[in-house]
Amino acid sequence: MNEFEKNVQSKNHDVIDSIKGFTFSFLFFFIIFFIGVIFEVIGG
């Protein structure tokens, strides 16, 4: 066991962190897409 395995900064599971990251990025791009659709409907 090396020194990094002994002193772990984050005790969270990687799966939970990856789900959070995927969800936030998906929501961000969905909001950008939705704003684009709204402008298209208003302008068109």
Domain-wise residue ranges, the chain: 16-43
**Mean pLDDT calculated for residue range 10-36:** 92
Give residue 42's pLDDT band: very low, low, confident or very high (50, 70, 90).
very high
The sign of the CA dihedral 4, 10, 15, 21 is negative
Sequence-ordered alpha helix ranges (H) in the chain: 3-6, 14-43
Q: What is the mean pLDDT of the chain?
A: 89
% pLDDT > 90, the chain: 57
Under 8 Å CB-to-CB from 10, ≥6 apart: which residues?
17
Query: What is the pTM (predicted TM-score) of this model?
Result: 0.60
